[in-house]
Amino acid sequence: MADACPCGRGDYARCCGPLHAGAAAPDAEALMRSRYSAYARGDATYLQATWHASTRPASLDLAADPPLRWLGLDVKRHAADGDRATVEFVARCRQGGGRAARLHETSRFVREDGRWLYVDGDVSGD
């Protein structure tokens, strides 16, 4: 049986897996989906590698107690203008036995040397 991709777009080996293995994302939405999948899979190395150097944190600790479980992703909008793009999405998660929470963000991306990178994002309060 195929391993489902956390981003919700089918089989991990054909979806975010190749990006996690080093392939370049074809667009900012694909990069955002792969970053969501990296959070869901606990891949801090990939997240650091796809974060623009101007905003990248020195380290990234994905460990939480109780653990954070990512439940789903809904991409609302993707807009590109040359080497810049935005992706609006809603990600759902739950920590421990608590209630599910929503992260609604409009993320900014830039393409450098043929590779899309996450720059930053604005989180909505809804």
Domain residue limits at 34? 17-124
State pLDDT tens for residues 76-109. 999 999 999 999 999 999 988 889 999 999 999 9
d(CA 58, CA 48): 9
Number of structural domains (the chain) is 1
pLDDT of 71 above 60: yes
Is residue 12 situated within a structural domain? Answer: no
Q: What is the CATH number of the domain that holds 107?
A: 3.10.450.50
Is residue 2 situated within a structural domain? Answer: no
Amino acid of residue 105 = E
Is residue 41 situated within a structural domain? Answer: yes
Is residue 42 situated within a structural domain? Answer: yes
Q: Three-class SS of residue 55?
A: coil
Is residue 114 situated within a structural domain? Answer: yes
Which pTM value belongs to this model? Answer: 0.94
Is residue 110 situated within a structural domain? Answer: yes
- With cut-offs at 50, 70 and 90, classify the pLDDT of residue 64: confident
Is residue 3 situated within a structural domain? Answer: no
Q: Are 20 and 6 in contact (CB under 8 A)?
A: no
Amino acid of residue 55 = T
Is residue 1 situated within a structural domain? Answer: no
